[in-house]
Amino acid sequence: MSTENAAAAAESLNFLEEIIEADLAAGKHTSILTRFPPEPNGYLHIGHATSICLNFGLALKYGGKTNLRFDDTNPVTEDTEYVESIIADVRWLGFEPANILYASDYFEQLYEWAKVLINKGLAYVDFSSAEEIAAMKGTPTEPGRNSPYRDTAPEENLALFEKMKAGEFPDGHCTLRAKIDMASPNMIMRDPLLYRIKKAHHHRTGDAWCIYPMYDWAHGQSDSIEGITHSICTMEFVPHRELYDWCINHLGIFPSKQYEFARRNLSYAVTSKRKLKQLVEENHVRGWDDPRMPTISGYRRRGYTPESIREFCDRIGVGKREMVADMSLLEFCIREDLNKRALRRFAVLDPLKVVITNYPEGQTEWMETENNPENPDAGKRTLAFTRELWIERDDFMENPPPKYFRLSPGNMVRLKSAFIIRCDSVAKDAAGIVTEVHCTYIPESRSGQDTSGLKVQGVIHWLSASEAVPAEVRMYDRLFQVEDPASEEDFKSTLNPNSLRVAENAVVEPALLQVQPGDKFQFTRLGYFCVDPDSMPGKPVFNRTVTLKDAWAKEQKKG
């Protein structure tokens, strides 16, 4: 294989890149302009993230630009609260829109263009009720019937449409419809509605309008006005493309083109605004930014980085078939990112007291440990070693199974960056629960200057009982117990009852008192954690972003 072929093979293009490169090569466009067109009626989720990364990513790759345009054509569901969160989420992901625009900016132009269509005899005012229109629409297997208002003369339609705009008719009294083909095999082309009357307050245009354009009338023309070259949307809009082109052709305006890719789903999650809204409103989660939510704001609070989400979107790629990306890939992406960047800290989530019986009371030695073994530049820190320590309850077992490398009676482990200790005895309460583990330490085994010659298999983290400070640690797990909750008859019946467990008695290094919401750490041997905005002075709250891979947990599952 030649080097050129090797390079070409290494850089295989997805179908959108192929289209763009062909358009650029053919001189159809000198540069590209894409757009991300959310409706401001909810918070952005991971599905939107894939669309954002696609639109902005393609523009970046080919030296083009991307507009953020709000598809705000339905005043009753939309709100500025959502506008603001969407702008913030796009920026947080790391993208800066070339322009922030609104379909409502084009209402006047859209109105003028509607009149152009009416004058051409291509649109008419229909006084049929919603039910009548539905009845005349036909079905996928039978053609529809023409509306009795279909042949009204253009002049009359014009007058009626102006009356609609002037507010002379009540909501739902009539609509403006395109005159296309009631027998089209494409249901979308059976005289689609262009305008409906809604005497509702719009979050941007206020009460200036009482007629609002439908998606099909607003979207393509908005693209055209902005000069969007590649209007990328999801597959459910494929049948709309015929209408998209029809409108642009009959208006004779800039021919934006629509291309469709398959929606990308995530296993163990739901990504429908309706379902997410239900979870919030029925208090299954604490809000749109609950760290268990697959929203951008949820991932942000959970501790995901923008880089990790972009990497995930990149890795799952883009295609035309319905797909479900594996949650484990998202987890891989955040671990990969944080492994390189997060400083290591010791935290004990479920503390068990260890008393080093041969260590003098009141004595403290300072143990040096690295902040990030992946990055020597991250430096080192010191930890206090004292007679009484906390270790993770999981790291001790009175009757351990085979291959248990941690502490157990008669056995030794290394306290990471400190000494090797041996368990001599345990103390229990009346219920038989181990309350203290009594150990002796090996003075010659100090980390970095170990002359003991001992070899131990287990290394565990620890904290000085007198130095450690309390913290709350929220441990999140997948919100749903099944891979595809949306396919269940009742998706909420598959909610994971253990999606949040709170470690109330956790202790952490004293240095962790000086943190800001959003700060990220690896708690050694446990996982990646992020400071939650709920933190109070003296009582930090940490969210578990993701655990470390756990070979021992896997080993145990095998039984």
Minimum Å gap between C-beta 495 and RNA is 22
555 contributes a contact to RNA by CB under 7 A: yes
- When the beta carbons of 121 and 143 are compared against RNA, the nearer one is 143
Residue 316 contacts residue 262 (beta carbons within 8 Å): no
DSSP string, 380-429: EEEEEE-SEEEEEGGGB-SSPPTT--SB-TT-EEEETTS-EEEEEEEEE-
Single out the residue of 129, 357, 363, 382 in contact with RNA (rule: CB under 7 A).
129
Distances (CA, A) of 228 to 35, 67, 245, 315: 7, 9, 14, 26
Pairing of β 541-547 and β 469-476: parallel
Please name which of 171, 176, 169, 136 lies closest in space to residue 154, comparing C-alpha atoms: 176
- When the beta carbons of 362 and 558 are compared against RNA, the nearer one is 558
Per CB under 7 A, which of residues 61..80 are in contact with RNA? 71, 73-74, 77
Active site residues: 39, 263, 273
151 contributes a contact to RNA by CB under 7 A: no
- When the beta carbons of 85 and 445 are compared against RNA, the nearer one is 445
Minimum Å gap between C-beta 262 and RNA is 6
Minimum Å gap between C-beta 347 and RNA is 11
Q: How far apart are CA 56 and CA 33, in angstroms?
A: 9
Q: How far apart are CA 496 and CA 160, in angstroms?
A: 55
6 contributes a contact to RNA by CB under 7 A: no
SS percent in the chain: helix, strand, coil, step 5: 35, 25, 40
423 contributes a contact to RNA by CB under 7 A: no
Single out the residue of 323, 426, 482, 511 in contact with RNA (rule: CB under 7 A).
323
Minimum Å gap between C-beta 142 and RNA is 8
Per CB under 7 A, which of residues 462..521 are in contact with RNA? none
Single out the residue of 202, 387, 525, 544 in contact with RNA (rule: CB under 7 A).
525
Minimum Å gap between C-beta 421 and RNA is 12
Stretch that binds RNA, among 286-294, 366-374, 496-504, 535-543 (CB under 7 A): 366-374
- When the beta carbons of 2 and 141 are compared against RNA, the nearer one is 141
Residue 188 contacts residue 146 (beta carbons within 8 Å): no
In this structure, the chain runs to a length of 559
The pattern of x and - marking residues 268 through 307 that bind RNA according to CB under 7 A reads ----------------------------------------
51 contributes a contact to RNA by CB under 7 A: no
Per CB under 7 A, which of residues 437..456 are in contact with RNA? 445-448, 450
* End-to-end Cα distance, the chain: 49
Per CB under 7 A, which of residues 232..271 are in contact with RNA? 235-240, 262, 267
Torsion of CA 135, 138, 142, 145, to 10 degrees: 90
Which residues, 6 or more positions from 452, have their beta carbon under 8 angstroms from its beta carbon? 420, 442, 444, 445
344 contributes a contact to RNA by CB under 7 A: yes
Single out the residue of 322, 398, 488, 504 in contact with RNA (rule: CB under 7 A).
322
Stretch that binds RNA, among 80-88, 154-162, 457-465, 503-511 (CB under 7 A): 457-465
**Lateral strand order in the sheet of 211-213:** 123-126, 175-178, 193-197, 211-213
**Lateral strand order in the sheet of 420-428:** 459-460, 412-415, 420-428, 434-442, 351-356, 388-392, 462-464
Minimum Å gap between C-beta 401 and RNA is 9
- When the beta carbons of 45 and 446 are compared against RNA, the nearer one is 446
Largest CA distance in the chain: 102
Single out the residue of 93, 210, 412, 460 in contact with RNA (rule: CB under 7 A).
460
The pattern of x and - marking residues 176 through 205 that bind RNA according to CB under 7 A reads ---------xxxx----x--xxx-------
Single out the residue of 61, 120, 315, 501 in contact with RNA (rule: CB under 7 A).
315
Minimum Å gap between C-beta 299 and RNA is 17
- The burial of 17, by beta-carbon neighbours within 10 Å (0-12 exposed, 13-18 middle, 19 or more buried), is given as middle
434 contributes a contact to RNA by CB under 7 A: no
Residue 69 contacts residue 222 (beta carbons within 8 Å): yes
Q: How far apart are CA 97 and CA 393, in angstroms?
A: 50
Distance, C-alpha 32 to centroid of its chain: 26
- When the beta carbons of 54 and 214 are compared against RNA, the nearer one is 214
Minimum Å gap between C-beta 523 and RNA is 8
Please name which of 274, 271, 262 lies closest in space to residue 479, comparing C-alpha atoms: 271
- When the beta carbons of 127 and 517 are compared against RNA, the nearer one is 127
134 contributes a contact to RNA by CB under 7 A: yes
Single out the residue of 12, 30, 283, 514 in contact with RNA (rule: CB under 7 A).
12
139 contributes a contact to RNA by CB under 7 A: yes
380 contributes a contact to RNA by CB under 7 A: no
Minimum Å gap between C-beta 515 and RNA is 19
- When the beta carbons of 240 and 310 are compared against RNA, the nearer one is 240
Q: How far apart are CA 412 and CA 422, in angstroms?
A: 4
- When the beta carbons of 63 and 373 are compared against RNA, the nearer one is 373
Residue 195 φ/ψ, nearest 5 degrees = -135, 145
318 contributes a contact to RNA by CB under 7 A: yes
Minimum Å gap between C-beta 441 and RNA is 12
- When the beta carbons of 129 and 425 are compared against RNA, the nearer one is 129
**329-337 long-range CB contacts below 8 Å, 24 or more apart?**
330/46, 330/266, 330/304, 331/546, 333/308, 333/309, 334/303, 334/304, 334/305, 334/308, 334/528, 334/545, 334/546, 335/528, 335/546, 335/548, 335/549, 336/308, 336/311, 337/305, 337/307, 337/308, 337/311
